[in-house]
């Protein structure tokens, strides 16, 4: 699950820097756009400024039902809007992701891809080592670890697009933490994906020929 | 008895210093007799978890032999904005950024408790840019080809090989080269081979040459990530009082030449990231002496902009070549001072590339705007398209006068082309090298039917728009739109024509004409022209009795039009002296390509009012809309402003929103925030976000946009004090309309 949050902008480096939306929120926004605020009011033809009847009372605000909204309730997230502080996750944090649970499948995936060029595997291996070092050294934040655990799950279940999406969301939301090694994970996903489709294609071919020759029942498919 | 122990300890904790003697002997002779020398132990990096570094550079004494740093021991004259160095007694002027300091508003480095203070030297900007570029590799499709050119004093074209040592070709930043020279030096000249123009070039078809500098993402992402990570600031030291040398002109020239020689007529983007103005070589916009500032509008008006013409010519030449090759140039300029967008704007404007302007690469404004370039549509395709040609055909009663937008002329003459030009004319075809679903061109027509030629009964004029383009999936597509509209005899059917007037489209189209003129004409002339057109329109379509201004009325379909023109006259597109030339170029760039809704927002910002009295409602962009018990949300396209009226601000300060009985107030505060978020989540480029209240210093963004119907001049004329008075001498909409009506009804005009 990508996280949906809004962080304040960097007011020190940019005056009136707008808030920063997480990757999840930004990709979600691709839905039909409701240009709600587009109406204008004509100036009165007789020239005097409109004086809406309103009083400014020094007392407390009026109590009662909330002022009516002109829109249907919209998409979920965010605590208290752009002006608020950081709300990293919108669902309860379970027990922290375990490093081994993440690294072992990644290394296994790397082993599976050893058939490819040595340079690429060395590069990926180097980055996995960096990931391990940073994780063990406590340099990675909880959301990053959690999402890596999810990524590995998707990878193991062969849901390549989902894994890829998680890698992208990590690069967008946490680039400072992950940029040194994430590209290795990205490459690993791509390699596993192409290996898997190669194997599937080969099996189809061999299954087709086997059928012709009446295969031995109980033919095992490699996972 | 008080001892020095506490004093010593406090000082060590704060400053990391321990002295042998904490009261110093005042003469040399006496000091030598003390046996133990006057000395100290200094721990320069003593941990100070309570001391966050300040995000700016230290202020130094200007005496070249001193250069001491501003500190709490210096004497300060807050009024004259001067400080006296306590080491050499030199009197120094505070830099402009310190203009707001006072006795009650001191910068940290003057406060006694900050005897030790740490400054951050701004490397974080380069780091932020590097990270954004690394991130973009994850957002690009795996088979996209990418290349990297870095520049400072020299220009480096990086060879992206898959193994071993990284190599680059280095060019001097002072000398411009022709396309052929660049291609020769990079080894790109190929044996004569027919170019496949009809299909987008596949990487495998050009296996040599280009592959050294342009590689698919899936092959070099790891290497390129490392390469980006290792990028450093230019190693040549920059002496005090000088700007860093930046050879933008040559760098861009090489990029254009590289793509020209390898992938002409294929969709491509050159993305230029720059943190300051070009200061060296062709295309330089300012010299390297800091004391000579970069040109302002005043300088340009007085013909005092030394480099402007030559630089503009250089970039125009590059822009035209790029457009001819079917590529586009984006400019991402993040710096506190100007970066030369005025001279470079043609690169983005002629090619359909983007222009993004920010204070620093380490801001959400840049990072998110950059991310949004890679957004995908509902089909999972990128929203950008390339290499478009627009061909317009008209039925014979019409001719094409021209187009205004992110395009170049293809110089296609024909029977449809008018001799009278509006915008980019003399053609019925234009090229738009980079476009997205909001790219919008203004196309102007001329009716050529003779006055007494009868229109056949029920006759309609027709226009066909044919757009060839390359979709982001690399498919070539053609979109055809054919429209028809009825002809009408003006004498007998004026009301009918009136009713069919689209005042919003008209306002934007006239505005584009005005801004187009403003690029080559004097400002006041453009305003006069705009005013004249408005008066003539009112004379034609208003209902009035001659010489009687009070009788003047406009029908509903025209009622907003004068207001649009009023706000357009005050807009940054036509009023340039409040902004730098770069800012004006930036605003005009976005204005010339947005669709109608966004363009209108730029002309006349949207203002919505939130209150307990009902749902949020649009209100007049007028000072009378600023009320104590309302919250206002203003959208100018470039800024989103939320403004709390005085009473609302007081209630918020009192904390009513946290009390359960006043939950409705909490909702009221939240409503504009939610609406602002909807806009912020989608708009490109990301606007600035200002959350302010009555009396806040940022309230000026709202106050400067609203019609000053109540100024200190006429505050008491209306009889009652409603709304917030604006302190300005600008003419108000009322005064403007009064003048307009007078002129429209007058037979003298």
pLDDT of residue A79: 33
Is pLDDT of B414 > 60? yes
User: pLDDT tens for residues A135-184?
Assistant: 988 889 999 999 999 999 999 999 999 999 999 999 999 999 999 999 99
- Estimate the crossing angle of helix A175-212 against helix B124-139, to 10 degrees: 20
pLDDT of residue A80: 35
Q: What proportions of chain B, in percent to the nearest 5, are helix, strand and coil?
A: 35, 20, 45
For the residues B359-381, what does the mean pLDDT come to? 92
Share of chain B above pLDDT 70, in %: 92
Question: Do B709 and A49 lie within an 8 Å CB cutoff?
Answer: yes
Is pLDDT of A195 > 70? yes
Question: Do A42 and B559 lie within an 8 Å CB cutoff?
Answer: yes
Q: Is the dihedral of CA B114, B115, B118, B122 positive or negative?
A: positive
Smallest Cβ–Cβ distance between B689 and the set A64, A82, A123 belongs to A82
Q: Where are the domains of chain B?
A: 4-56+113-119+381-489, 132-188+210-373, 572-737
Please count the other Cβ atoms lying within 10 Å of the Cβ belonging to residue B547: 11
Residue of B227, B214, B228, B215 whose CA lies nearest to B259: B214
pLDDT band at A87 (very low <50, low <70, confident <90, very high): very low
Question: From CA B687, how far away is CA B334, in angstroms rounded?
Answer: 14
Continuous segment of H or E residues that includes residue A179 = helix A175-212
Mean pLDDT of chain B: 88
The radius of gyration computed from the CA coordinates of chain B, to the nearest angstrom, equals 31
ipTM, 2 decimals?
0.77
Residue of B670, B634, B669, B636 whose CA lies nearest to B650: B669
Question: From CA B318, how far away is CA B313, in angstroms rounded?
Answer: 9
Smallest Cβ–Cβ distance between A83 and the set B376, B630, B691 belongs to B691
Smallest Cβ–Cβ distance between B615 and the set A60, A70, A74 belongs to A70
Give whole-number Cα distances, B48 to B43, B55, B114, B623, B687, in Å: 11, 16, 12, 49, 37
Render B174-217 in DSSP notation, one character per residue.
T----HHHHHHHTT----S-----SSPPPGGG--SGGGGT-EEH
**How is residue B236 written in tokens?**
């040549």
Is pLDDT of B713 > 60? no
pLDDT of residue B165: 75
pLDDT of residue B195: 46
Give whole-number Cα distances, B698 to A7, A10, B107, B703, in Å: 21, 17, 20, 9
* Residue A217, min C-alpha distance to chain B (Å): 40
Please, what CATH class does the domain formed by B132-188+210-373 belong to? alpha beta
Smallest Cβ–Cβ distance between A21 and the set B665, B681, B723 belongs to B681
- Estimate the crossing angle of helix B596-603 against helix B503-518, to 10 degrees: 70
A57 touches chain B (CB under 8 A): yes
Q: B690: which chain A residues are within 8 Å (Cβ-Cβ)?
A: 16
User: Are the beta carbons of B41 and B18 closer than 8 angstroms?
Assistant: yes
A194 touches chain B (CB under 8 A): no
Residue ranges of the alpha helices (H) in A59-174?
99-112, 118-136, 142-156, 160-173
Interface residue of B165, B226, B364, B625 to substitute, partner A, most A CBs within 10 Å: B364
For the residues B718-736, what does the mean pLDDT come to? 61
Is pLDDT of B603 > 70? yes
User: Are the beta carbons of B397 and B487 closer than 8 angstroms?
Assistant: yes
pLDDT band at B206 (very low <50, low <70, confident <90, very high): very low
For domain B572-737, give its CATH number from 3.90.1170.50, 3.40.20.10, 3.40.50.620, 3.90.226.30: 3.40.20.10
Is pLDDT of B452 > 90? no
Task: Please count the residue pairs, one from chain A and one from chain B, whose beta carbons lie less than 8 angstroms apart.
Answer: 251
Please, what CATH class does the domain formed by B4-56+113-119+381-489 belong to? mainly beta
pLDDT band at B457 (very low <50, low <70, confident <90, very high): low
pLDDT of residue B197: 43
- Per DSSP, B557 falls in state G
pLDDT band at A132 (very low <50, low <70, confident <90, very high): very high
Question: From CA B335, how far away is CA B278, in angstroms rounded?
Answer: 12
CA dihedral B710, B713, B717, B719 (to 10 degrees): 60
pLDDT of residue B575: 92
Please count the other Cβ atoms lying within 10 Å of the Cβ belonging to residue B96: 7
For β-strands B614-618 and B631-635, DSSP reports them as unpaired
**How is residue B525 written in tokens?**
């002339």
Question: Least CA distance to B608: which residue of chain A?
Answer: A37
User: Are the beta carbons of B286 and B279 closer than 8 angstroms?
Assistant: yes
Q: A179: which chain B residues are within 8 Å (Cβ-Cβ)?
A: 131, 134-135, 225, 229
């Amino acid at each position: 699950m990508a996280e949906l949050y809004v962080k304040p902008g960097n007011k020190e480096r940019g005056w009136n820097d707008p808030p920063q939306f997480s990757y999840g929120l930004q990709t979600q926004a691709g839905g039909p756009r409701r240009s709600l605020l587009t109406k204008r009011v004509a100036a009165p033809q007789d020239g005097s400024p409109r004086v809406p009847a309103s009083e400014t009372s020094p007392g407390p605000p009026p109590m009662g039902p909330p002022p009516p909204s002109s829109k249907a309730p919209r998409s979920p997230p965010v605590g208290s809007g752009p002006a608020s502080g950081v709300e990293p996750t919108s669902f309860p944090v379970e027990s922290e992701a375990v490093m081994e649970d993440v690294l072992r499948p990644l290394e296994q995936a790397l082993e599976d891809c050893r058939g490819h060029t040595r340079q690429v595997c060395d590069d990926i291996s180097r980055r996995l080592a960096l990931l391990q070092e940073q994780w063990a050294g406590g340099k990675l934040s909880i959301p990053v670890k959690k999402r890596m655990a999810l990524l590995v799950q998707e990878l193991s279940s062969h849901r390549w697009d989902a894994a890829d999406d998680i890698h992208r969301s990590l690069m967008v939301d946490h680039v400072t933490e992950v940029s040194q090694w994430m590209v290795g994970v990205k490459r690993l996903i791509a390699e596993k994906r192409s290996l898997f489709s190669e194997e599937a294609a080969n099996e189809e071919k061999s299954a087709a020929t086997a059928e012709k020759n009446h295969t031995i029942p109980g033919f095992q498919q490699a996972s | 008895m008080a001892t020095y122990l506490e004093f010593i300890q406090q000082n060590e904790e704060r400053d990391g210093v321990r002295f042998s003697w904490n009261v110093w002997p005042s003469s040399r002779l006496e000091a030598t007799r003390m046996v133990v020398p006057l000395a100290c132990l200094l721990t320069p990096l003593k941990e100070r978890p309570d001391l966050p570094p300040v995000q700016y550079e230290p202020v130094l004494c200007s005496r070249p032999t001193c250069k001491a740093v501003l500190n709490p021991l210096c004497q300060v004259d807050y009024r004259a904005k001067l400080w006296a160095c306590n080491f050499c007694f030199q009197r120094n002027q505070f830099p402009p950024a310190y203009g707001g300091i006072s006795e009650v508003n001191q910068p940290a480095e003057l406060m006694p408790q900050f005897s030790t203070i740490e400054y951050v030297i701004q490397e974080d900007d380069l780091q932020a840019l590097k990270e954004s570029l690394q991130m973009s590799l994850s957002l690009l499709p795996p088979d996209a080809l990418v290349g990297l050119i870095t520049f400072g004093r020299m220009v480096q074209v990086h060879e992206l090989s898959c193994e071993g040592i990284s190599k680059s070709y280095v060019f001097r930043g002072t000398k411009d080269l022709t396309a052929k020279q660049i291609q020769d030096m990079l080894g790109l000249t190929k044996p004569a081979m027919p170019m496949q123009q009809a299909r987008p070039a596949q990487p495998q078809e050009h296996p040599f040459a280009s592959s050294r500098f342009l590689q698919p993402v899936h092959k070099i992402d790891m290497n390129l990530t490392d390469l980006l990570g290792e990028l450093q600031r230019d190693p040549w030291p920059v002496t005090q009082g000088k700007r860093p040398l930046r050879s933008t002109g040559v760098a861009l020239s090489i990029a254009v030449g590289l793509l020209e020689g390898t992938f002409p007529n294929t969709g491509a983007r050159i993305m230029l990231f720059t943190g300051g103005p070009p200061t060296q070589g062709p295309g330089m916009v300012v010299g390297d002496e800091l004391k000579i500032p970069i040109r302002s509008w005043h300088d340009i008006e007085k013909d005092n902009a030394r480099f402007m013409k030559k630089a503009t010519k250089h970039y125009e030449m590059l822009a035209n070549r790029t457009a001819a090759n079917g590529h586009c140039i984006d400019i991402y300029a993040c710096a506190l001072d100007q970066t030369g967008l005025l001279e470079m704007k043609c690169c983005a404007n002629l090619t359909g590339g983007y222009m993004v302007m920010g204070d620093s690469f380490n801001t959400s404004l840049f990072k998110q705007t950059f991310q949004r370039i890679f957004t995908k549509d509902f089909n999972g395709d990128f929203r950008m398209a390339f290499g478009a040609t627009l061909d317009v055909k008209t039925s014979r009663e019409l001719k094409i006068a021209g187009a205004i937008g992110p395009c170049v002329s293809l110089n296609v003459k024909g029977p449809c082309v008018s001799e009278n030009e509006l915008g980019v004319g003399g053609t019925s075809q234009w090229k738009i090298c980079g476009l997205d679903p909001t790219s919008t061109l203004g196309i102007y027509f001329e009716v050529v039917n003779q006055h007494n030629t009868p229109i056949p009964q029920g006759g309609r004029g027709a226009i066909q728009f044919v757009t060839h383009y390359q979709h982001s999936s690399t498919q070539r597509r053609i979109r055809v739109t054919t429209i028809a509209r009825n002809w009408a005899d003006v004498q007998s059917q004026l009301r009918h024509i009136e009713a069919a007037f689209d005042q919003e489209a008209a306002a934007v189209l006239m505005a584009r004409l005005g801004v187009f003129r403003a690029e080559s004409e004097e400002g006041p002339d453009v305003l006069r022209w705009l005013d004249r057109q408005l008066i003539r329109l009112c004379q034609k379509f208003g209902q009035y009795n001659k010489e009687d201004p009070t009788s003047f009325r406009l029908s509903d379909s025209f009622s907003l039009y004068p207001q649009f023109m009023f706000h357009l006259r005050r807009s940054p597109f036509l009023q340039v002296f409040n902004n730098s030339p770069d800012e004006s170029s930036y605003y005009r760039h976005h204005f010339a390509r947005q669709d109608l809704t966004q363009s209108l927002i730029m002309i006349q910002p949207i203002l919505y009012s939130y209150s307990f009295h009902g749902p949020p409602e649009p209100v007049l962009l007028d000072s009378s809309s600023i009320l104590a018990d309302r919250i206002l949300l203003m959208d100018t396209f470039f800024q989103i402003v939320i403004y709390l009226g005085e009473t609302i601000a007081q209630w918020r300060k009192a904390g009513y929103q946290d009390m359960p009985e006043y939950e409705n107030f909490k909702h009221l505060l939240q409503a504009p925030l939610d609406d602002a978020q909807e806009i912020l989540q989608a708009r490109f480029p990301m606007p600035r976000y200002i959350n302010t209240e009555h009396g806040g210093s940022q309230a000026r963004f709202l106050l400067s946009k609203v019609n000053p119907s109540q100024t200190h001049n006429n505050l008491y004329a209306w009889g009652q004090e409603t709304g917030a008075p604006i302190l300005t001498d600008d003419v108000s909409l009322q005064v403007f309309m009064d003048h307009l009506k007078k002129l429209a009804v007058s037979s003298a005009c």
